[in-house]
Amino acid sequence: SDLQKQEERGELLQPLVFVLLVLCSVLLYFKVSLMDPGFVKSEEEAEASKSEEQSMVIPQVPSNIKMRRCGYCMVKQPMRAKHCQLCQHCVRRYDHHCPWIENCVGEKNHPFFIVYLSVQLVVLLWGGHVAWSGLYFEQSWDWLQHNVLLLMSFLLIIIFTTVVLLLLISHLYLISCNTTTWEFMSHHRISYLRHSELENPFDQGVILNLWRFFC
């Protein structure tokens, strides 16, 4: 492969960058999967730490929409929070429970999740290029025996790259609209969205939505 040839020539910059990117993606994976996604700890904390975003949006939502008490963990849910049956907690700005990381994606770890997907996409694209550069096709059984693992790796990389790319694009679109996967999929069942005069009362324009999310 290209990286192997560069290493043999003593050109270690690109192989080192590739290894560092892989290491970074692994560290981000553990960061996203182990950190608190934004669990609602108690009724007092939920009351005290209402976000600026909520206070700006509440006037646009009918006044009869109040904070509801979760039927599972018995805390008052801030707006946009949802109880996760797998984590057994209510999560602020709940997006979804991700089986890849075995954790919820919520208010605190959603930006790290996007960074993780971005780094992972770069690693996959680069890994796909490395695998392709090591393939020299020949119509023989011996060639297939010697290259079957590399060929399978390349096909798996293509599949994972497609999945990660679609996931990243969908999340960036939802972020630009200031909505979550849960709100997008369950709009008709969420009281503060169903009774709102606006289709999305949280949308403040693409630039401000992105700024508030990442900064």
Selected catalytic residue, list 24, 70, 73, 98: 98
- Please state, in angstroms and rounded to a whole number, the distance separating the CA atoms of residues 3 and 130: 7
Which structure tokens are listed for 152?
């399978």
Which structure tokens are listed for 195?
């009774």
- Each residue of 85-122: b (16+ CB within 10 Å) or e? eebebbbbbbbbbbebbebbbbbbbbebbbbbbebbbe
DSSP string, 72-125: TT-PBPPTT-EEETTTTEEETT--EEETTTTEEE-TTTHHHHHHHHHHHHHHHH
107 with 95: CB under 8 angstroms?
no
179 with 203: CB under 8 angstroms?
yes
- Please state, in angstroms and rounded to a whole number, the distance separating the CA atoms of residues 15 and 7: 7
Give the up-direction half-sphere exposure of residue 29: CA atoms within 13 A in the CB hemisphere: 13
111 with 100: CB under 8 angstroms?
no
Is 98 noted as a catalytic residue in this protein? yes
Residues marked active site are found at 98
